[in-house]
Amino acid sequence: MTGVAAPNAEEAVSLGELEESLGFLLRIAQVHAFQRFYDAFGDGGLRPGEFSVMWVIRLNPGVRQGLLAETLEIKPAQMTKMVRRLEEQGLVRRVIPDYDRRSVQLFLTGQGEAFTEAHGEAFFHHDDHTHLDLSERESHQLAHLLRRYIGLKKGPVE
């Protein structure tokens, strides 16, 4: 007997213990976050991650590329492509420093500064609590717990 009769109301699917699984919930949450990002920024051809990279370069001018990759958990090979792309768009400048000519220091160009200046508020607004069924307090708490989850010690916000 294998359920050949038509189900009455098929719209209820139970998830059981998955509703407590952080891995499962994080995957779904990230699907939503990506969708949210593309709804807000997809037009300009900006990719997820690119804004974050520029933002961190802006806060840490001259940061070494490998350290940036490590911090943002982006693989070196991927970071190379991302930086090259941003360089081609005139947003980022690569500098080979004299004290270690193997390494690459990263800076925003004037255009890159202008871009992050122009879109920073929109970026940080697009995924904040005002677009969610979360209160501001819950949103901060979610961010706090996610930082704990990934082992990120909160540094000074400038």
Residue 21 interacts with which of a copy of itself, DNA, none, CB < 5 to 8 Å by class: a copy of itself
37 close to 48: Cβ distance less than 8 angstroms: yes
93 close to 113: Cβ distance less than 8 angstroms: no
> Smallest distance, Å, CB 3 to a copy of itself?
4
Scanning the chain, the segments in alpha helix (DSSP H) are 22-41, 50-59, 65-71, 76-88, 110-126, 136-150
Residues of span 5-64 touching DNA by CB under 7 A = 34, 47-49, 64
- Which of 39, 42, 44, 72: binder of a copy of itself (CB under 8 A)? 72
**Antiparallel, parallel or unpaired: β 63-64 and 92-95:** unpaired
- Distances in whole angstroms, Cα of residue 42 to Cα of each of 5, 153, 154: 44, 31, 29
Residue 25 interacts with which of DNA, a copy of itself, none, CB < 5 to 8 Å by class: a copy of itself
Applying CB under 7 A, does 104 fall inside the site for DNA?
yes
Residue 26 interacts with which of DNA, a copy of itself, none, CB < 5 to 8 Å by class: a copy of itself
Applying CB under 8 A, does 26 fall inside the site for a copy of itself?
yes
Applying CB under 8 A, does 84 fall inside the site for a copy of itself?
no
